[in-house]
Structures are given as C-alpha cells and as structure tokens.
Amino acid sequence: MTGEERKVIFASSLGTVFEWYDFYLYGSLAAIIAKQFFSGLDPTSGFIFALLAFAAGFIVRPFGALVFGRLGDMIGRKYTFLVTILIMGGSTFIVGILPTYASIGVAAPIILIVLRMLQGLALGGEYGGAATYVAEHAPNGKRGAYTAWIQTTATLGLFLSLIVILGTRTLIGEEAFADWGWRVPFILSIVLLGISVWIRLTMNESPAFKKMKEEGKTSKAPLTESFGQWKNLKVVLLALFGLVAGQAVVWYSGQFYALFFLTSVLKVDGSTANILVAASLLIGTPFFVVFGTLSDKIGRKPIILAGLLLACLTYFPLFNALTNAANPALAEAQAKNKIVVTAAAGDCSFQGNPVAREIDFKKSCDIAKRFLAQNSVSYENVTATVAGPATVQIGEKLITAPVGNVVAGKFDDASKAAIDAFKAEVKAALGEAGYPAKADPARINKLQIILILSVLVLYVTMVYGPIAAMLVELFPTRIRYTSMSLPYHIGNGWFGGLMPTIAFAMVAQNGNMFYGLWYPIIIAAGTFVIGLLFVRETKDVDIFKDD
C-alpha cells in the first residue's frame, strides 16, 4: 500500500467515522430524547415515536442517495461528500442546542424530525461516495481489503458515540445527564465537523473519475441510466434484495437492537450496557478487515451468505442466552411463573400504534397489555371462550383488568382509580412471582454477555465487510455512485433503519420479548435465497473498464 493509498483510506474512513458518530448519537439516546421531545405522549407511544423520529433519518437516505449520487457521478466524488459532511455536522450540532417540548411545545419534535431528515439526506450521499472513492484508488485484487476500512467506520462511529456518552454520564452523573448532559455529545460534533472538513479539503479526486472526465465520458443523466434502463435496474434490484436488505437487518440486530434489548427489555442500566456493547465492538471491529481481505481471495458472495445463514439459525438461542446472562432473575421468573393475558376476540387494539395516547387504549385488554409492555414484561396471549373483561394471570394469581371511561379527553376519576389499582396489583404480583424491576448488577455475567455480543458483531463483519467492494464492482464507473448508493440506502435505511421500531411494535403487539427477532430472520433468509440463486460473484471484475 502506497502512502497516497493510505492517506485516501485514512481520510475517507476518519471523516465517515465522524459522520456515523453524529448519526448514531440519536439512536443511543432515544430513551432520553423521547422524554425531552415527545413528553406530550404516554411513555410507550413516546418511545415508539422517538424510534420513528430516529427512523425518519433512515427513510430519507435513499433520496439523499439519488441527489448526491447524481452529483457525484456528474461533478465528482470529492466535492460531493464534502457537502454531505457539512450538512450532517451542522444538523447534529443544532440538535444539541434545540429547545425541548417543555420549552416550545410541538415545534420541538417537528424541528427535531426535520434535522433527522437532513442527517439522513447527508448520509445518503456519504457512504456511496466514500466507498466509491476508496475502491477507485485500490488496485485489482485488493478492493475488499481497502474498502473494508470504510466498513469499520459505522461500527467505530457507534463505538465513539457510546464512549462520549459514557464519559459524559460518568463525569456529571445520571440525573444531570438526563436533564441537560445529553446535549454535550451533540454539541461536541462541531469539533469533529471542523476536523472532517479539513481532512476532506486535502483529498484529490478519484483517478477513475478524473480519467473519465478528461475523456468526456461522464454521464449526463445518471438517474436515467441507472434506473431507466433494465440492464442496470435489474442489477440494482438484485443488489438490494440479494445482498443489502439482509446485511442491513443483521447489522442493526447485532449492534443497535442488541443494545436496545439489554437496556429496555433486560433492564440492564445504560452505562453497563454501553460498556458491554463497546467492548464487543472493540473485539469485533478488526474482523471487517479480515473478512474484506478474505473476500479478495475466496469471493465476496460466500462470506456474506454465510453471515446471513448463521444469523438466521442462531438469533433465537443467542438472545435467549443473552437473557440468562444479563438478567437471570427474569429468565427464572419467566420459567417458573409465566404470564398469560386472556381476552375476548376483538378486545385488543394494535399496541404498536406510534401516535396513540394513553386514553386511546381504554379496553380492558389494551390496559393490561399496555402496562405489561411498559414494564417490558413478556406474556402469552389466550383468546377467551366467553365475552368479558381481560385477565392477567401471573403464576397462580388471576387479576381482572378494568375498562377505561374517557370524559373530556381523560379517564374519569373512577376509571383512573381502577386502572391505578390494577397496575399496583399487577406490580405487586410481578414482585411476588420473582420478576425483577431491573437487572441485578451482582448477577450480570459480563464476560458471557461480551462473548455473545461479539458473536453478533462477528456476523455483522461477515455481511458488511465485503459488501462495499461488491457493490462498487456491480456497476460501471459512469453511474457507480448513483447506482450503488440507492440499493445500499434503501436496504440500510428502510429494512435496517426501521428494524428497532418494527421489532419493538411486534413485541408490544405479541407480548413475547423475542418475537421481534422474526423480522431480521425473515429478511435475512429471503436475502440469502435470492443472493444464492441470482447474484453473481464480482471479485475479479475490472472496475476501470467502463461499460
């Protein structure tokens, strides 16, 4: 590797680390942001809405891919992703100084969602530019190894965000962090922005693009060429459904959903969970380069498909083992005293509704399920044979759920008293049955958790390490930025970015805390089949021959 190649990889990777840091701060602090910006909703709806605001950044990423991909193919790689980092860094800094719902009301969540969408647009143009830029500097036979460094940036960005959050929490304490300290990591992004911009200003244009521009062969309509011609559109669709969709859900399951599962479901305190996830990221991150380099020798496709298959086969046992290691008291209580909600058919509403208020759940089944979901309690559903109010059975104890009566936009006094009494009775019964309010720090098996999380990260490195090189190799130079960016960001933005929200809603609706895992398993399994049958190997493609 020459000095110039090292500089290209370092500059592209470091700038992208900072950009992912900005993007993932929000996801890591979703629970706190829900209280600060969505306090007008009930706790469960507020958290789901906060996750949807997080997902908004992912939803617009394909549009960023179209806008900036087109610019990247027409005017160049370097200047396009210089613009993207300015938008990303500026949006993140503003989140850090944005007034909360308590200060400016409904304007706060609206502005927050707009900023998240700007972040998503910027990131939509960032990744394709960085991957294309590095790949077009890499010699044949080493693209997997070179672009694998770009693949480490998302994990390193998440790792950096966790470290900054943990450091801030430790310095000022949990109470101050929840009140105002959560702003510090966002505000610090302005420093990272300055460093990133300086780095990118020192970079030169990609040699492949420069050569094509000198020869007058750049595309005048990259969107039309990429998606208006079937020979290219077919490859875009195969890249999406045969590679990226499955890679995305494995990525978000192994890192983000694992963190969410530890804190929200297994009730491990935030600082401990962040340390455990950060340790697993530290262990797993070098394998991005390992599998990227290996893909130069044996091919991209076998490694990616193997990662998808392993995830499908082992997610349920791994998350079950995670439960036993992180909160053994919860696992023991579920084994000894199962919780059963019995309700008449049609008495239960959809629990994952993100805009619902507490008063919208006034049926007895809704009140029962809502309270159990808010306490991250796993339960079974049984349909009652006769009409009547829903019941909650905890071990040997049977508790009847009340019905809420709404008057003037709130539960009347009698309903509120009955609901409060029901919640208190359920809480007492949970305690008697051994259900813990939070994970016992003395019983957390940290070594085992790090091992399990490291396995999940290993799957991430298998599916993600070789994929940048493979996407670059699928498309010709003149439309490469546009063509590879769209499937990547639809896959990661929609299939992956919506994963925490969809999984949480599935769990809230079904009751089983593992039920959300069906989402990544089904997507990964479908991608495995399509990739196996229809996606070609690309490691020997000459990307400097434009056709």
Q: Are 119 and 497 in contact (CB under 8 A)?
A: no
**CATH for the stretch 3-327+441-534:** 1.20.1250.20
Write the burial class of residue 460 (CB in 10 Å: 0-12 exposed, 13-18 middle, 19+ buried).
buried
φ, ψ of residue 216 to 5 degrees: the values are: 70, 30
Distances (CA, A) of 327 to 261, 262, 437, 440: 11, 9, 10, 7
Q: Of the candidates 288, 301, 222, which has an alpha carbon nearest to the alpha carbon of residue 474?
A: 301
């989140």: which residue's tokens?
A: 95
> Model confidence at 353, in pLDDT bands (50, 70, 90)?
low
> Model confidence at 238, in pLDDT bands (50, 70, 90)?
very high
Determine the length of the chain: 547
**CATH for the stretch 332-432:** 3.40.30
Give me the pLDDT at residue 201, please.
Answer: 80
Give me the pLDDT at residue 408, please.
Answer: 77
Give me the pLDDT at residue 47, please.
Answer: 66
Q: Which residue has the higher pLDDT, 234 or 7?
A: 234
Residue 325 has pLDDT above 90, yes or no: yes
Give me the pLDDT at residue 308, please.
Answer: 97
Q: Which residues of 387-419 are buried (b: 16+ CB within 10 A; e: fewer)?
A: eebbbbbbbeeebebbbbeeeeeebeeebeebb
Give me the pLDDT at residue 44, please.
Answer: 61
**pLDDT mean over 5-31:** 74
> Model confidence at 30, in pLDDT bands (50, 70, 90)?
confident
Q: Which residue has the higher pLDDT, 88 or 462?
A: 462
Distances (CA, A) of 411 to 14, 205, 349, 357, 362: 53, 63, 18, 12, 9
Q: What would the pLDDT profile of 162-211 be if each residue is shown by its tens digit?
A: 888 889 988 998 889 988 999 999 898 888 788 878 877 877 766 666 77
Residue 45 has pLDDT above 70, yes or no: no
Give me the pLDDT at residue 48, please.
Answer: 66
- Segment of 5-19, 36-50, 397-411 carrying the highest mean pLDDT: 397-411
**pLDDT mean over 306-326:** 97
Residue 296 has pLDDT above 80, yes or no: yes
**pLDDT mean over 126-139:** 80
**pLDDT mean over 410-439:** 91
Q: How many whole angstroms from its chain centre is CA 248?
A: 9
Give me the pLDDT at residue 6, please.
Answer: 79
**pLDDT mean over 367-385:** 86
CB contact set of 57 (below 8 Å; sequence gap of 6+)? 23, 26, 116, 117, 119, 120, 123, 497
> Model confidence at 355, in pLDDT bands (50, 70, 90)?
low
Residue 354 has pLDDT above 60, yes or no: no
Angle at which helix 499-510 crosses helix 245-252, to 10 degrees, equals 70
Residue 41 has pLDDT above 80, yes or no: no
CB contact set of 416 (below 8 Å; sequence gap of 6+)? 410
**pLDDT mean over 510-524:** 93
Q: Are 135 and 147 in contact (CB under 8 A)?
A: yes
Q: What would the pLDDT profile of 65-79 be if each residue is shown by its tens digit?
A: 888 888 877 776 777
Domain edges within the chain: 3-327+441-534, 332-432
Positive or negative torsion for Cα 435, 439, 442, 445:
positive
> Model confidence at 109, in pLDDT bands (50, 70, 90)?
confident
Task: List the end-to-end C-alpha distance of the chain, in Å, as a whole number.
Answer: 28
What's at 429, amino acid-wise?
A
Q: How far apart are CA 17 and CA 88, in angstroms?
A: 12
Residue 104 has pLDDT above 90, yes or no: no
Q: Which residue has the higher pLDDT, 408 or 251?
A: 251
Give me the pLDDT at residue 293, please.
Answer: 94
Q: What would the pLDDT profile of 463-478 be if each residue is shown by its tens digit?
A: 999 998 999 899 887 7
- Please, what is the average pLDDT of the chain? 85
Give me the pLDDT at residue 352, please.
Answer: 62
DSSP-derived letter for residue 139 is P
Give me the pLDDT at residue 105, please.
Answer: 83
